[in-house]
Chain A
Amino acid sequence: MTHGDVRDLIAPYVVGALEAPESVEMEEHLEGCGFCANLAREALEVVHCLPYVAPQRPLPGGALERLLTSISGGASGIYRTSTIAEATALAPAAIEARAPATERKGRRWQTWFRSPSLFPVAAGFILVAGMAAWNVSLERELGSERREMDVMRGRLGQQSHLLLMVTSTASMARPLQGTALAPSAQVRLIMDGESNSAMLFASHLPPLGSNQVYEVWLGRQGVRVPAGTFQVDQQGDGECSLQLDGSIHSYDSAWITAEPARGGPMPNSPGIARGAL
């Protein structure tokens, strides 16, 4: 198989639609070709979204009780005696084994668990984690310049806020609480350590006056740093890609305030929402 052949077959390969012999050929190629393996990994990230295309069905009653009975050595289902092979990851090892970014994340999260009040919400960030991994591999394997990497990561943070929502091990979500000024506000700050980017998603904020914007502030050891401004629509929904002046891990809190248009270096009004990071 040439690189070109492989590229044409990546999509059917990752959705599992190749005939077995072709699949084997693909795997052989991917094991020896970092470039095609990167393309395949990228395609696989999309495939990881497909389970969620299934229409939602309400869970049958008693499902959890049944599971707990099963694991305590009770009732067995058809799968206990069937010939179904042990399930393995859909993705071929050739692709999934290369995940340097994920590896680092794993270790970082481990240490976070030691702080019980700060358990991050598990947000499931397939795509961002994957793309960060892709970037890292690309850098290593194709020798991209670091500056180019930074630009790519920056673009990832700016453009693909949807990915942040969709995707997770590298990212985490923190809620901000609406204050008395905005009791029904729902605000989430999504932070991705790998790309050092963050997005804020707000719903049900009060309408702004003319020439006003909402401004996001990040706190670090008592100092508030302006991190971006945004408008809201008629439903009070808005979002903002945050500008960070340091590592995402260096901040300890976040606020939103209503400010004169263009924002400002210091907050001039009480907080609409706030939270610890």
Chain B
Amino acid sequence: MEQSGRTASPQRFQPLDEELVRLVAGGDSDALAELFRRYAGAVYSLAYRMLNDREGAEELLNEAFVRVWRQAPSFDARRGKFSTWLMSVARNLGIDELRSRRARPQRADPLTPQDAELDPADERVDVEADVWNSERRRLIREAMRGLPAAQREALELAYFEGLTQSEIATRLGDPLGTTKTRIRLGLQKLRDLLLSGELGAEIS
């Protein structure tokens, strides 16, 4: 179909992320700005969730995209998509920052454990220009809400705060075995929810 030369509404079609990364690798800062437009909201939101402070989240956001700029030439689209890679970069930066904060006594624990309940108010904030990202976020959060609170909390402590199973058990005052089970069941259930057709029916 790509050879047909049809041009209906070409303005609706945008370059793929991977194409933009290729341009970034060639030094195109406009392409970087476009990737930023697409994903900065998601990266910043992830960073804020992890670090729980605005300044730290801004630093992380900036650094994640500086790495996109620097590492674009070695990005290999065959190994996975750009957004997955970007989010992994951001999450790893967040984990490292959290560890280094924990190691700094003067900033002993700036983090208050966040309630595992999802904040419904933020649903109204449409900071992502990309409708796909908003939709994806909505669906994933919907699935996450379907988890029992204890499982969700265990997963969030692991993913967003970088805690190990035993740290999570200590934090929540649960036996280690219970924590292990919650993580395992939580991930399994989340997968089932993401796959379930019931959620799909709510797509608007």
Contact = CB atoms under 8 A, between A and B. Distances in A.
Contact of B140 (A16, A52, A106): A52
A192 to B, nearest CB: 14
B122 A55 contact: yes
Interface string A99-118: 10011001101011101111
Given A64-B33, A122-B14, A161-B197, A48 B40 contact: no
Contact of A11 (B17, B29, B187): B187
A17 B164 contact: yes
5 contacts: A57-B45, A57-B48, A58-B125, A117-B13, A163-B194
Given A56-B137, A102-B80, A162-B203, A115 B2 contact: yes
A276 B7 CA distance: 8
Given A52-B137, A64-B40, A239-B200, A121 B91 contact: no
Interface stretch (A26-34, A134-142, A166-174, A209-217): A166-174
B132 A59 contact: no
Max chain B Cβ within 10 angstroms of own Cβ: one of A57, A103, A163: A57
B180 to A, nearest CB: 7
B174 interface: no
Given A15-B158, A55-B119, A57-B45, 15 more contacts: A16-B159, A17-B165, A46-B190, A55-B122, A57-B57, A63-B40, A63-B61, A83-B100, A113-B19, A118-B1, A162-B195, A162-B199, A169-B80, A235-B204, A276-B8
A16 B155 CA distance: 10
B163 interface: yes
A64 B19 contact: no
Contacts of B184: 8, 10-12
A18 interface: yes
B136 A124 contact: yes
Identify which of B3, B16, B95 gathers the most chain A CB atoms within 10 Å of its CB.
Answer: B16
Contacts of A115: 2-3, 5
B142 to A, nearest CB: 9
B149 interface: no
Interface stretch (A90-98, A144-152, A264-272): A90-98
Interface in B27-56: 29, 32-33, 36-38, 40-42, 44-46, 48-50, 54
Interface string A254-270: 00000000000000000
B102 interface: no
A43 B192 CA distance: 11
Contacts of B195: 159-160, 162-163
Give the dominant DSSP class at B's interface.
helix
Interface string B143-186: 11000000000011011101111101000000000001001101
Interface residues of A, number: 100
B139 to A, nearest CB: 6
Nearest to A111: B2
A53 B122 contact: no
Given A12-B180, A17-B165, A161-B197, A50 B155 contact: yes
A111 B7 CA distance: 18
A249 to B, nearest CB: 6
